[in-house]
């Protein structure tokens, strides 16, 4: 299983609301700064950094979409 995003790709992060429900607010643009190893559950993870704030997150691939 290969990562769909590469380092330096710009992506949108779909945050999670209460009980894992997706948030309705569109998030800021983030930059992929690292591809994490595949976890035991088989999901691909990435380290992303906000382009507007001093924030880094580790997220799963299904939480990301390509930035226009």
User: pLDDT confidence of 6, banded at 50, 70, 90?
Assistant: very high
pLDDT at 32: 97
Domain assignment present for 47: yes
Domain assignment present for 53: yes
Domain assignment present for 4: no
Q: How many residues does the chain have?
A: 68
Stretch 35-60: mean pLDDT, rounded?
91
Answer yes or no: pTM beyond 0.85.
no
pLDDT at 57: 93
**DSSP-derived pairing of the beta strands 64-66 and 10-13:** antiparallel
Please list the helix, strand and coil fractions of the chain in percent, rounded to the nearest 5, in that order.
10, 40, 50
The predicted-structure confidence for 7-17, as pLDDT tens digits, reads as follows 999 999 887 66
- How many domains does the chain contain in total? 1
Give the three-state DSSP class for 65.
Answer: strand
Domain assignment present for 31: yes
Domain assignment present for 46: yes
Q: Which domain holds residue 17?
A: 10-66
């Amino acid at each position: 299983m290969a990562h769909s995003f590469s380092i330096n790709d710009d992506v949108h992060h779909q945050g999670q609301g209460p009980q894992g429900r997706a948030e309705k607010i569109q998030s800021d643009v983030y930059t992929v700064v690292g591809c994490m190893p595949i976890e035991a559950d088989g999901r691909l993870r990435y380290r992303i950094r906000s382009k507007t704030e001093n924030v880094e997150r580790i997220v799963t691939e299904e939480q990301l979409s390509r930035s226009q």
